[in-house]
Amino acid sequence: MFINKENKNCLKLADNLHFIKESEEIILRFERFYTDKLQDIPIVELSSDYYRDVQLLHDKVFPNTYYSGNKIIERLNDHRKVFVDKKDNKLMGYIYVEVNPAFGEGSIEFFAVDESQRGKGIGNKLLIMALKWLFTFDSVDDITLCVNSTNEEALNLYKMVGFKQEYQLCYLTKNVKE
């Protein structure tokens, strides 16, 4: 379960019930209002030439997650996109996003930069591409995401682009025997 770090009563109850703290997470939010401050970067959508490269990078960075690289490619449609950064016909990184305009929801699902290319502004470019596309849907007012509090590199990147911290959560689990 996720509990706001400031909710001392709930945290005390969880402790009394022998829940185990697995991690601390930070909820970040980017509001539509701030899109004017984003750099003007062209949006580069994934082409079939790079399907295999995205699959390989995704499966390397996220080996046991809810969508494989192949599944992401299968899911692509008008509301699910992959944007890429490439140089000299080589994939530098990708970002997979989904939008549900009927509910005004947009999300950044997966995001990876080739290890040899990190620290070169590629993550920044990919985030800007994703945000610009997500906010082309009038019903989307903000984007929220959850980042592990120990992932300082990701937190700094999101904040540099304009995400603001909303909450700090504790992720707790409990082994329940039947």
Which residues have CB under 8 Å from 4's CB, separation 6+?
10, 167, 168, 169, 170
Quick: pLDDT tens for 108-132: 999 999 999 888 999 999 999 999 9
pLDDT score, position 64: 86
Secondary structure class of 100 (helix, strand, coil) = strand
Question: Is residue 178 scored above 70 in pLDDT?
Answer: no
Single out the residue of 54, 14, 43, 25 nearest to residue 134, CA to CA.
Answer: 43
pTM of the predicted model over 0.75: yes
pLDDT score, position 42: 85
Taken in order of first residue, the domains within the chain and their CATH numbers are 29-165 (3.40.630.30)
Which residues have CB under 8 Å from 29's CB, separation 6+?
142, 143, 144, 163, 164, 166
Quick: pLDDT tens for 10-62: 999 999 999 999 999 999 999 999 998 888 888 889 999 999 999 999 999 99
